[in-house]
Structure 1
């Protein structure tokens, strides 16, 4: 089994009561958004390699937004699962995994 980790940045707080700006500066958030945002990075890569045009990317974005909105609407229609399902498929014993930090320089843990 392989797991792919996507390292990105949370631009907003953890919840509605957490503005996310009490423990980091607005400059930090803006800097990360400009330099490390994965969507902007791939958009620039696509455009610089002429894989798609700005117009084509906007069309794709509209399609994706509609797909997400449709999925949200569908999810809201589905009844909540029975509480007995809370821990179903959450953890499987016997699979080991190496857990790396964001910089991939050192293994933080090996899970049993």
Structure 2
């Protein structure tokens, strides 16, 4: 059982090769994880799309670097809807859904 899962995308879970950008992402994630662990919490980082992870095994999930949602809107919306009843999102599902809907609308209308 975890207290907190830090949500990321597959590119930032144990990458084999890194560059300066990925190094910064990993550093920021590690700083957050260390700060939470220093408070006595059991923490891990997971790809939001990891179908093998049981989301009922964590109390909370915090959105950090889930940036591949941009290319996977529908899959991300479906995951968000399904998972919001299995754990508590630090950033509420409703807020995330509103932000994603806004960006999806903006991209559709601005770049069409």
TM-score (norm 2): 0.27
TM-score by length of 1: 0.27
Would you tell me which structure has more strand in proportion to its own residues?
Answer: 2
- Relative CO higher for 1 or 2, CA cutoff 8 Å, sep ≥ 6? 2
